[in-house]
Structure 1
Amino acid sequence: MTTTRPAPPTPERPQPGRLESPLPEARSDGAHPADDAHPLVDGYPASPSVRAGGVLRLHLSTRADRFRADFFRCGAEVRHMGGTGGPGRYAPAGRYDQDWHWPGHDFTVPAHWPSGVYIAVLRPHASGPPDLPEPGAGAEHLDARHSRLLFVVTPAGPTKARVLYKVPVLTYHAYNQSGGGSLYGSLRTDDPPPGADTPVTQAVTLRRPGGGIGGPVKGYPDAHDPRTPRQTFAHWDAPFVAWLERGGFTADYCTDLDLHQDPHRADGYRLLLSAGHDEYWSAPARRHVTAFRDRGGNLAVFGANTCWWRVTVSADGTTVRCAKHPPGAAPGVDVDRLRGAPGHWWESEPENTLTGVSYRNGGGHWEGPRAPLGFTVQHTGHELFAGTGLRDGDVLGAEHALVGYECDGAAHRRDGAGRAVATGADGTPPGFTILGVADLPADPAAGWHTAVREDDGPGRAATFGLYTSGGTVFTAATVDWPRLLALDPRVRTITHNVVTALS
């Protein structure tokens, strides 16, 4: 989300495990420190996904004579899958909105590699063999702001998997600050001045370091889980992926760019799954996901702030643009509090029609710890509550601040029994069943921020629930849902029930 306060890049923190790099820190623009004794290797993939058996092109820059890339698959545990190497070549850093054109190195992905999210650990070849993660280590042991890159291996052909996991690469890059910028911040000096009659479009390239790992990240640290920056794969997606595979669920993986480019990418799966923070959606990706639902495919969103910004993707799939500023908007304005932003999905095609909920009926708490807030549950006879022991009126997840750091809601009223019922006034589909409600504090001192909406009344609430229209769509309505998988057995049980029922 856009904030009016400055949000400096999250600094590098010591990471647990044996893979913490002793190399000097990369600058925020992605340039390498001038240290011949400890040369960095930085890089990015030409494309964020590759089919098993296909060719992955790595773009790398280093002052070292040679480089080494070791590949790790992130799942129930981190597994070392292999590596590659070659002569080192140096190229300078570029701008955040232009292809960096670093030297290329091709690697043929073994056909037997399973679909999944892979991280390449980059280092000078002279630094010796890789330190392998300890058994059971998670992706946080690989996370760093330099010398890493992320890519997704998609299956070479049809598989037996019933679940397709969507990796939000476009959101990762929206917050990636390599090259000195992201899709956040004030307008540049070469943008149209206030009063112009055309909206301002900001752009970022996918061909630069970062994008889930390996680059500086815009945003405040997460007071409830400071191990990794929020807008990274390691923060929300990796814990969910690990839980999914430990639970015995078999999943294939793709990126949102894959769904953007291929209208049939989800064909053959029963469930399309998204977790954490999946904020930036293109019109083709949304159209293809909606068609999947209409054909009877199910969608589970274990996150929030979903499908908030509309983006356009260049024909070659390397540049992402978002028109966040209404015509005439002044630099520094909080565009979420204004109408007329072309990139707002809700102003032309409310995201509620797909997800059932919207950030404009919820809110965000970005900085510092939140007061404990959970969902007051209802309809606990529903199969998704089976095995939780919850009864109507109980509160789910408050002790671990489940609701936040951003959350979504549906416009609703209370029926004669006091239950929350969706009104549909904001585009929420008929039949959306609200399973839990969390009223957000209205006092500004509580630290919650809200966006403009149709109803300017003060009441805001996160609402998790589901509806059926062709397929069934479940939404957890809070970004922090994956964080509680390690903390709350009732959250784990509900998640297991959802994935089992919909897959």
Structure 2
Amino acid sequence: MTTDQHRGTPTPTPRGGPDPTPVSGYPARPSVRAGDLLRLHVSTRADRFRVDFFRCGAATRHMGGFSAPGKDAPDGRHDQDWQWPGHDFAVPAHWPSGVYIAVLRPHAAGPPDLPASGTGAEALDARDCRLLFVVTAAGSAKARILYKVPVLTYHAYNTSGGGSLYGSPQTHARALGHRIATVTLRRPGGGIGGPVKGQPDAHDRRTPRQTFAHWDAPFIAWLENAGLAADYCTDLDLHTDPHLTDGYRLLLSAGHDEYWSEAARRHVTAFRDLGGNIANFGANTCWWRVAISADGAMVRCAKLPPGASPGTDVDTLRGAPDHWWETEPENTLTGVSYRNGGGHWEGARSPLGFTVQHTEHPVFAGTGLRDGDVLGAEHSLVGYECDGADLHRDATGRAFATGRDGTPAGFTVLGVAALPTDPASGWHTAARENEDPHRAATFGLYTAGGTVFTAATVDWPRLLPLDHQVRTLTRNVVDLLSRSSGVLDRPRTTDHG
């Protein structure tokens, strides 16, 4: 690795030796339709630079590239458009929908020194000289599955320009009037190519959390390896276009999809109400509400309640303006909430999995699981962050959702993992609505128009290459919900409370 003195962040060292003239950039918008113009904003001291495009999926494919004159531009702040020089690229109409990574480097004579085609997304991951964008489907040809890429969450944790939606040294030092955190999407980072807030993942140190390579790339690789075709969009696309989901059977997300705009949530809810299915193989979903500027460049989130000091853990307080759960509980859409789950952010977790029930349900077909078995404990499936429902148990010990927290009637609890309460365990379960310290990750589903499945743990994608039962269950859910009549009948249950 070499140190980029211009940007102040590490950059990859090419196989030919240190690179004295790094290149950084970002897209004007995080998505582009195949056949349209992609605008990239690039800064470098090199006379010319080169961009090479890779599509991430079952394999990483080199799709093409271009070179252009270079120009140096100053870094900006996290809450202002950086306004770097722009370069347009006509995206070929034949490019398939997907997540693309651009590798930026100074132009050099001879073949470019690039990551090998066919490697995983982690081989392309870097904190500089990279940018990410999504190619959305062109024309009327569509898959049955639409995959949602959480660009807003990527940028919430992106600290390019000295801050994120978690604040900055400057805002923390100012008066209490600065209660609305703001970031721009027009800066390096946002899934790749920028510094990231957060602790390293003790269970997978190859890439940082809150990046595309860490959460989404493993799920997308599994999806394509399983022969499951999907189109791709960003949450900004869902925010902008109420008809984006038209014609799809399943809206799918994975990993950490924490930040949602009001319009995106309204459009996804309408999709469900009209019979569309949703599968969320992640957690901490729809926890914060964000406002997006009319030009789609700025994202704002009001986190501090009146009277709270900057730096306070707002999840322990009421009155945070943009907590979804305080005004419109996310349970009404997802079935579960982070306020009935918890987080474990630093160091290795103890083995914890879901104790399953209702294993006669078709999502368990081929897993070999029986009621009372534990799913995923060997590889610490429940962790980093997880969601839950308010629960009680009947006389037989079977868990039911009470619905007191907004979980829809008829939510079928498929698995429960009680979170440790000993402070030494490293788990954090803030007392948000009551004093009961007990929380439990809760995965399950319900049907209301369409069917909504939630895996209730951010770490679900991490186990896909490791655990046959997790893979089988995932395949069952995607197959059942993406077929033309994909509404799951819930098991017959009786609350013997």
Q: Do the two structures share a fold, i.e. TM-score over 0.5?
A: yes
The answer for the alignment partner of 1:124 in structure 2 is: 106
Name which of 489, 493, 496 aligns with 2:468: 489
2:249 is aligned to 270
For structure 1, list consecutive stretches of 5 or more residues without a partner in the other structure. 1-21
Report matched runs for 1:410-421 at 5 Å. 410-421=389-400
3-state SS of the aligned residue for 1:24? strand
- How many Å separate the matches in 1 of 2:384 and 2:130? 26
Cα distance change of structure 1 residues 79 and 135 upon mapping to structure 2, 3 Å threshold: closer
> Who is 1:41 aligned against?
23
Measured after TM superposition, the shift of residue 132 of structure 1 is: 4.7
1:155 aligns with 2:134: no
Where 1:126 maps in the other structure, the secondary structure is: coil
Aligned with 2:430: secondary structure?
A: coil
Question: One-letter code of the match for 1:386?
Answer: A
* Equivalent position amino acid for 2:467 in 1: D
Contact 2:24 2:129 in 1 (8 A): yes
After TM superposition, the structure 1 = structure 2 runs for residues 67-86 of structure 1, keeping only pairs within 5 Å, are: 67-86=49-68
Query: Which amino acid letter does the alignment assign opposite residue 366 of structure 1?
Result: W
Structure 1 residue 93 and structure 2 residue 72: aligned? no
1:3 matched to which residue of 2? none
Q: What is aligned with 1:427? A: 406
Which stretch has the larger CA shift, 327-336 or 264-273?
327-336
Secondary structure of 1:204's aligned partner: strand
Correspondence for 1:104: 86
Deviations 1:384-407 (A, max 9, x none): 000000000000000100001100
In structure 2, the CA distance between the partners of 1:29 and 1:359, relative to structure 1 (3 Å rule), is farther
Aligned partner letter, 2:255:
G
Equivalence map 1:252-291=2 (5 Å):
252-291=231-270
| Pairing 1:462–2:441 present | yes
* 2:244 counterpart letter in structure 1: R
Q: Which residue in 2 is equivalent to 1:218? A: 197
Whether the 8 Å CA contact 1:28–1:216 is kept in 2: the answer is no
Matched, 1:393 2:372: yes
Following superposition of structure 1 onto structure 2, how do residues 309-324 of structure 1 map, counting pairs within 5 Å?
A: 309-324=288-303
Structure-2 change in CA distance of 1:191 and 1:268 (3 Å): farther
Q: Which residue of 1 aligns with 2:322?
A: 343
Q: 1:379 to 1:27 in 2, by over 3 A?
A: farther
How many Å separate the matches in 2 of 1:46 and 1:142? 21
What amino acid maps onto 2:469 in structure 1? R
Question: Contact 2:2/2:10 (CA < 8 Å) preserved in 1?
Answer: no
1:234 and 2:213 aligned: yes
Aligned sequence identity (%): 76
SS class of match (1:254) = strand
Q: CA deviation at 1:332?
A: 1.4
Which stretch shows the higher mean deviation, 132-141 or 321-330? 132-141
1:138 equivalent in alignment to 2:120: yes
Change (3 A) 1:186 1:330: farther
SS in structure 2 of the partner of residue 72 of structure 1 = strand
8 Å Cα contact 1:80-1:132 kept in structure 2: no
Distance in 1 separating the partners of 2:43 and 2:473: 45
Q: Which amino acid aligns with 1:368?
A: G
Cα distance, 1:192 vs structure 2: 6.8
Deviation at 1:190?
8.4
Asked if 1:202 is matched to 2:181, the reply is yes
Aligned residue identity for 1:260: H
Q: 1:318 to 1:127 in 2, by over 3 A?
A: farther
Contact 1:70 1:80 in 2 (8 A): yes
Task: Name the residue aligned to 1:164.
Answer: 146
SS of the equivalent of 2:301 reads strand
For each residue in 1:134-165, what CA deviation from the matched residue of structure 2 results, as whole angstroms up to 9, or x when unmatched? 46411000000000000000011222400000
CA distance 1:111–1:396, shift in 2 (3 Å) = same
Query: Does residue 181 of the first structure (1) align with residue 163 of the second (2)?
Result: yes
The residue correspondences of 1:307-386 to structure 2 (distance < 5 A) are 307-386=286-365
Q: Greater CA deviation, 157-166 or 292-301?
A: 157-166
Alpha-carbon spacing, 1:130–1:452, altered in 2? closer, same or farther (3 Å): farther
Alignment of 1:1-20 (within 5 A): none
After superposition, the Cα gap between the structure-2 partners of 1:100 and 1:392, relative to the gap in structure 1 and judged at 3 Å, is same
Structure 2 counterpart of 1:64 = 46
What is the Cα deviation at residue 29 of structure 1?
A: 6.3
- Distance (Å, rounded) in 2 between the aligned partners of 1:132 and 1:248: 28
- Paired with 1:189 and 1:411, the residues of 2 have a C-alpha distance of 36
| Alpha-carbon separation, structure 2, partners of 1:334 and 1:127 | 52
**TM-score, normalising length: structure 2:** 0.93
Gaps of 5+ in 2: 13-17, 483-497
* Cα distance in 2 between the residues matched to 1:472 and 1:130: 47
- SS in structure 1 of the partner of residue 20 of structure 2: coil
Matched length: 478
Quickly say closer, same or farther: Cα 1:178–1:29, change in 2 above 3 A: farther
Does structure 2 conserve the Cα–Cα contact (< 8 Å) formed by 1:376 and 1:437?
yes
Asked if the contact 1:46/1:59 (under 8 Å) is kept, the reply is: yes
The 8 Å contact of residues 186 and 332 in structure 1, kept in 2 or not, is answered as no
Tell me the secondary structure at the aligned position of residue 166 of structure 2. coil
Letter in 2 for 1:272: L
2:289 maps to amino acid: R
Specify whether residues 447 and 110 from structure 1 end up closer, same or farther in structure 2 by C-alpha distance, changes over 3 A only: same
Alignment-mate amino acid for residue 65 of structure 2: G
Work out the CA distance in 2 between the residues paired with 1:276 and 1:242. Answer: 13
Secondary structure, aligned partner of 2:464: helix
What secondary structure sits across from 1:69 in the alignment?
Answer: strand
- Aligned-partner Cα distance in 2 for 1:232–1:146: 13
Partners in 2 of 1:392 and 1:27 — Cα distance? 58
1:10 corresponds in structure 2 to: none
Mapped partners of 1:331, 1:271: distance in 2: 40
Contact preservation (8 Å) 1:29, 1:179? no
Following the alignment from structure 1 to structure 2, what is the Cα–Cα distance between the partners of residues 263 and 387?
37
1:366-418 Cα deviation digits (max 9, x unpaired): 00000010000000000000000000000000010000110000001001211
In 1, Cα distance between the equivalents of 2:458 and 2:432? 20
Residue in structure 2 matching 1:50, options 21, 27, 32: 32
